[in-house]
């Protein structure tokens, strides 16, 4: 899966979680500061990402995913590791 497809999937999840109505956000978009996500939103987002991409996101990693770009890279790396 390409990073573009990962981002598209992530954007769908973000819209479905009602964090924004925009279907494309810059990579530097911050979940808390820019989208006003709280800790519950972050956990729900992580669970949806885990389900959608069939990856595991440890609780310790959830707090490290602060931007759209960081999350895309994280998911992409998890998927790459899973293919090995």
Query: Is there a catalytic annotation at residue 61?
Result: no
Q: What is the Cα–Cα distance from 17 to 5, expressed in whole angstroms?
A: 18
Distances (CA, A) of 24 to 9, 12, 57: 11, 9, 23
Q: What rounded mean pLDDT belongs to the chain? A: 94
Domains and CATH numbers, the chain: 3-78 (1.10.1200.10)
Q: Is the pTM of this model over 0.75?
A: yes
Per the CB < 8 A criterion, the answer to whether 57 and 49 are in contact is yes
Kindly name the residue from 38, 51, 59, 60 that is annotated as catalytic: 38
**pLDDT surpasses 90 at 84:** no
Using only the alpha carbons of the chain, give its radius of gyration.
Answer: 12
């Amino acid at each position: 899966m390409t990073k573009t497809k990962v981002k598209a999937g992530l954007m769908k999840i973000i819209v479905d979680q009602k964090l924004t109505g925009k279907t494309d956000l810059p990579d530097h978009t911050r979940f808390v500061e820019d989208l006003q996500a709280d800790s519950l939103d972050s956990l729900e987002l992580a669970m949806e990402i885990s389900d959608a991409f069939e990856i595991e996101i440890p609780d310790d990693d959830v707090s490290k995913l602060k931007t759209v770009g960081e999350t895309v890279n994280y998911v992409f790396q998890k998927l790459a590791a899973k293919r090995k």
